Structure 1
Amino acid sequence: MAFQKAVKGTVLIGGGAIATVFGLSQFSQYRNKHGTFVNVQAAEAVTVPIKRDFPTREEQILALQTTREFDVLVIGGGATGCGCALDAVTRGLKTALLERDDFSSGTSSRSTKLIHGGVRYLQKAIMKLDFEQYRMVKEALQERANLLEIAPHLSAPLPIMLPVYKWWQLPYYWVGIKLYDLVAGSQCLKSSYVLSKSRALELFPMLRKDKLVGAIVYYDGQHNDARMNLAIALTAARYGAATANYAEVLRLLKTTDPGSGKERVCGARCRDVLTGQEFDVKAKCVINATGPFTDSVRKMDDQEVPNICQPSAGVHIVMPGYYSPDNMGLLDPATSDGRVIFFLPWEKMTIAGTTDSPTDVTPHPIPTEEDINFILNEVRNYLSVDVEVRRGDVLAAWSGIRPLVTDPNSKDTQSISRNHVVTVSDSGLVTIAGGKWTTYRAMAQDTIDAAIQAHDLNAGSSKTIGLQLQGAEDWSPTLYIRLVQDYGLESEVAQHLASTYGDKAFEVAKIAQVTGRRWPIVGKRLVSEFPYIEAEVIYGVKEYARTAVDMISRRTRLAFLNVQAAEEALPRIVDIMGKELNWSEQKKKEELEAAKKFLYYEMGYKVKSDQLTDSSEITLVPSDIERYKKRFHMFDKDKKGFITILDVQRVLESISVQIDEKTLHDILNEVDLNKNGQVELIEFLQAVHAGHSPCGSEAELWQW
């Protein structure tokens, strides 16, 4: 009886959902015929010439200072802000963009790395018969297809598995996923399919086996978010937009309209953060595209304006690649508290996340231990008991602030849609808020449409559908082979360069240093475990990188993949950047310290291990503990809470002790009980307590 009820319920839900979507699809088609949602392939209609290369930052700052008046000034260098600049400049509008930090330094670099319509939003649309949610999903699926087309080197389809552990859920989830395919229509990447238990375990062997019924696989897109954001910014610059990072808006400029007598926003007073120089940028229209900081810019215009943005924190963690297959993601559709968790391969590592909780707006969000442990616990629920999910395997963690548009009195951010809102204030400030990464282009189009209407600007329709981004023009899946053959790069490095820079990878290869070895001929790695090479630092400076943090987090993605590897690469990165940017020794020291602070706090590796826990199996007397703690801090001079191989090498050099690198790695690996690549205080105390350094090199190392 229960079986029959479950099946009938599933069929009824599925049938109702299909009928609903069919009706909505018919309505959508009707609207399409009448021009509301018409998508015109407009890229070929771009008449603005594109430059072979983008200007230097100094040239961009000069353009901002000397241009009498721009048509459009965009505040914010995230995906949406850069999208607005690209949309405006390709319509022929004289465009400027100001970003107080680096391009993609905020939320746009801290996403789940997915290009998707949102399976959970479609579920809400069906269950609540919410056409706006449905329209958002359909728009996102169209934008997903466009993004995969305009930047194929930075994005690709990704199969995602939804494991099923109750037999009645299989038809229920199957109907939902098929509806997702249906809504995508001709933009469907690949058709979803059902897997048996054995086949699911074959494709995802780490999956928990007991009670597994089967699985459903569907397709979404995945991308390198920070590099995608940068590609949008560089493309806008090549079309003539005056874009500048590290250019902070201090206040909005206003003038009195002679006709109405009202104040109108006419530009911004800004400061070059790198030089301290202040100057005015005049514009007919100012656009606020600052994501979580939306309300702070709106209050520059009007102090009394109510907040329209409720920020939500989303934490992600990165774990070793062996936690997931190379080309198969995992979706947990219902976590213990009703959220959705993704478990995805990315850059040969594994991303897990995300959380969703109210937060304060800050330029430096920090992931909490509570959120990290929540994600780890959810991962444990879906992985085999043979796979030990360890806290020490968290190689990096970050928190991103989603700029949700909502009622400021609402406390439940999980039920809030990611729809975007475009508003125009009484003084003419255009604000774009909300939305999601995938729909940045559509958001930009809506924003520029509103700006043109509000300020009577002379421009036509959007031309960004199908408009290829930096690096896409001559890219092909086999481009990396030419890099190997023509320049003598390692295959892994060549593939990385091709998938990061597209057809611009040749420019990086041309400046790659000779290794001095038989093979590879060129391409010195920054760290041995990752394919990033020193030439990328030089090229990154050309791409407007001005701090070491820019380089480890957004030009390369080392900080998001492995904090320790990023730290190991920092000294060389700072040296190369210092040479390119003429840094003094003091400046290099400051950059090194700032980058380490970024890693330890914002990337989740601030380890609080100075206090021993009651569970520590250490029976040293208090005086010995204090003595060994002092010794630990001699290695850990930065007071970060752990010792790395760099710390040990520094100490050994100071006392003229030589231990080869392999032996040093072996020693640290023996003491590193949780195998996270670093020795924490508790591990250090356990090592000296257990007598791990009885003689020889090890004795010299720990008894120093």
Structure 2
Amino acid sequence: MAFQKAVKGTILVGGGALATVLGLSQFAHYRRKQMNLAYVKAADYISEPVNREPPSREAQLLTLQNTSEFDILVIGGGATGSGCALDAVTRGLKTALVERDDFSSGTSSRSTKLIHGGVRYLQKAIMKLDIEQYRMVKEALHERANLLEIAPHLSAPLPIMLPVYKWWQLPYYWVGIKLYDLVAGSNCLKSSYVLSKSRALEHFPMLQKDKLVGAIVYYDGQHNDARMNLAIALTAARYGAATANYMEVVSLLKKTDPQTGKVRVSGARCKDVLTGQEFDVRAKCVINATGPFTDSVRKMDDKDAAAICQPSAGVHIVMPGYYSPESMGLLDPATSDGRVIFFLPWQKMTIAGTTDTPTDVTPHPIPSEEDINFILNEVRNYLSCDVEGN
């Protein structure tokens, strides 16, 4: 009797959630049309690459030195900076991109390797009737489909198992995952499905057997974040952006705007980290895409500028590959502190994470023992064998 009530309640919640999703979808229709028009306008500028192969670093440095003024100078060659450079140059803007270290040497190479819409954000959108959360999930699912289409050599669909250890969780999570499929619409990779206990253990032999009811499997994308970042930077170079790594910005250039009389940033003094050579790169617009180092660049403009960036440490641990199957990940939907943890196969190894704790800015962050032990303790809840953090 209790089971029937729970299932009926779940169906009612699911029906209400479905109606909410459809309502949000209609509410966002006008905004999506405007976004599509913006994409069309941007596409008008896209032409064939000017270079069959990306120019050498030496050639790029000469372009940086000999160009009197760029339209755009992007500081930071991570995913955001490289994306800005590619977007700008394919719109016909004279673009420069400089990176202090190597492309994707920071945050952009240290992700969970997932391209996902965010199941938990969809849950928030429905529970709180939050249209912005819904839009974020919808856009993320659209971009997931784009990445899988344009870079199949660097990305692929990945089934992710959500193990269930309480009988009432099965219909609850099933409704949520099916709504995730529904929101993805034509961008849904593959339909989610339910596994019995025996089938779940067959797919994931290391799974904790005690009290296991079954599992739900859904699909998200997985990609090589560092190689994707590099591919975007090289594509920008092929389209004509002057792109150079190991170029550190040591100061910002300024000039007085003749129309407004105000002093504005007009470029940057750059230093070749490999040779020590310095020169100026001038630009009409400078984009600060330095991630956790955002404030250090802002202080070059105004030494009294208040900090606006609070860096957060997202720690992952790398474990032997035998802890997870080669072609399936695992999701812990509710950790002891209310977050989620992914347990994913990656290049013959297993990645587990992530955390989300405030941290200081450092070029080479080191995970704390507390964060490592937190991940290990959460992982132990789902594995039949013990995991030691030696």
TM-score > 0.5, shorter chain as reference: yes
**Aligned ranges for residues 310-329 of structure 1 at < 5 Å?**
310-329=310-329
1:45 CA displacement: 6.3
Matched-pair contact (CA < 8 Å) for 1:48–1:90 = no
Deviations 1:406-455 (A, max 9, x none): xxxxxxxxxxxxxxxxxxxxxxxxxxxxxxxxxxxxxxxxxxxxxxxxxx
The one-letter amino acid of 2:281's match is V
Counterpart check, 1:78 vs 2:78: yes
The one-letter amino acid of 1:389's match is V
Q: Distance in 1 between matches of 2:263 and 2:39?
A: 37
Q: Distance in 2 between matches of 1:177 and 1:83?
A: 31
The one-letter amino acid of 1:391's match is G
Matched-pair contact (CA < 8 Å) for 1:48–1:91 = no
Matched-pair contact (CA < 8 Å) for 2:45–2:90 = no
1:182 CA displacement: 1.2
The one-letter amino acid of 1:24's match is L
Larger relative contact order (CA 8 Å, sep ≥ 6): 2
The DSSP-based 3-state class of the residue aligned with 1:310 is coil
The DSSP-based 3-state class of the residue aligned with 1:64 is helix
The one-letter amino acid of 2:386's match is E
Q: Specify which of 381, 387, 390 is matched with residue 389 of structure 1.
A: 387
The DSSP-based 3-state class of the residue aligned with 1:274 is coil
Counterpart check, 1:272 vs 2:272: yes
The one-letter amino acid of 1:311's match is P
Match of 1:169?
169
Counterpart check, 1:193 vs 2:187: no
Q: Among the aligned pairs, what percent are the same residue?
A: 84
**Aligned ranges for residues 409-420 of structure 1 at < 5 Å?**
none
Q: In 2 relative to 1, CA 125–305 (structure 1 residues): closer, same or farther, beyond 3 Å?
A: farther
Counterpart check, 1:140 vs 2:140: yes
Range that drifts further, 2-11 or 56-65: 2-11
1:50 CA displacement: 3.5
1:144 CA displacement: 0.6
Match of 1:98?
98
Match of 1:154?
154
The one-letter amino acid of 2:237's match is A
Whose helix fraction is larger, Structure 1's or Structure 2's? 1
1:251 CA displacement: 1.4
**Aligned ranges for residues 6-17 of structure 1 at < 5 Å?**
6-17=6-17
1:38 CA displacement: 4.7
Deviations 1:168-195 (A, max 9, x none): 1111111111111111111111111111
Range that drifts further, 46-55 or 85-94: 46-55
Counterpart check, 1:343 vs 2:343: yes
Larger Rg: 1
The DSSP-based 3-state class of the residue aligned with 1:265 is strand
Q: Distance in 2 between matches of 1:333 and 1:204?
A: 17
The one-letter amino acid of 2:31's match is R
**Aligned ranges for residues 619-630 of structure 1 at < 5 Å?**
none
Q: Distance in 1 between matches of 2:155 and 2:222?
A: 5
Match of 2:356?
356
The one-letter amino acid of 1:390's match is E
1:101 CA displacement: 1.0
1:391 CA displacement: 1.9
**TM-score between the two structures when normalised by the length of structure 1:** 0.54
Q: Distance in 2 between matches of 1:36 and 1:215?
A: 37
1:25 CA displacement: 0.9
The DSSP-based 3-state class of the residue aligned with 1:260 is coil
Q: Distance in 1 between matches of 2:83 and 2:39?
A: 17
1:18 CA displacement: 1.4
1:382 CA displacement: 0.3
Matched-pair contact (CA < 8 Å) for 2:115–2:223 = yes
Counterpart check, 1:20 vs 2:20: yes
Q: Distance in 2 between matches of 1:160 and 1:116?
A: 11
Range that drifts further, 22-31 or 149-158: 22-31
Q: Distance in 2 between matches of 1:325 and 1:296?
A: 43
Matched-pair contact (CA < 8 Å) for 1:323–1:350 = yes
Matched-pair contact (CA < 8 Å) for 1:48–1:92 = no
Q: Distance in 2 between matches of 1:308 and 1:185?
A: 37
Q: Distance in 1 between matches of 2:275 and 2:227?
A: 26
Match of 2:55?
55
1:39 CA displacement: 7.2
The DSSP-based 3-state class of the residue aligned with 2:314 is strand
Matched-pair contact (CA < 8 Å) for 1:104–1:229 = yes
Q: Distance in 1 between matches of 2:110 and 2:331?
A: 19
Q: Distance in 2 between matches of 1:259 and 1:233?
A: 34
The DSSP-based 3-state class of the residue aligned with 2:133 is helix
The DSSP-based 3-state class of the residue aligned with 1:283 is strand
Q: Count matched residues.
A: 389
Match of 2:293?
293
Match of 2:128?
128
Match of 1:109?
109
1:40 CA displacement: 4.5
The DSSP-based 3-state class of the residue aligned with 1:391 is coil
Match of 1:584?
none
Q: Distance in 2 between matches of 1:72 and 1:48?
A: 20
Q: Distance in 1 between matches of 2:131 and 2:306?
A: 27
> After TM superposition, what 4+ stretches of structure 1 lie above 4 angstroms from structure 2?
1-5, 37-45
Q: Distance in 1 between matches of 2:62 and 2:242?
A: 9
Deviations 1:196-245 (A, max 9, x none): 11111111111111111111111111111111111111111111111111
1:44 CA displacement: 8.7
The one-letter amino acid of 2:181's match is D
1:306 CA displacement: 3.5
The one-letter amino acid of 2:389's match is R
Q: Distance in 2 between matches of 1:72 and 1:345?
A: 39
The DSSP-based 3-state class of the residue aligned with 2:381 is helix
1:43 CA displacement: 6.1
1:324 CA displacement: 0.6
**Aligned ranges for residues 244-283 of structure 1 at < 5 Å?**
244-283=244-283
1:307 CA displacement: 3.1
1:153 CA displacement: 0.6
Counterpart check, 1:307 vs 2:307: yes
Q: Which runs of 5+ in 1 are unaligned?
A: 393-704
The one-letter amino acid of 1:362's match is T
The one-letter amino acid of 1:47's match is S
The one-letter amino acid of 1:158's match is L
CA-based RMSD of the aligned residues comes to 1.8
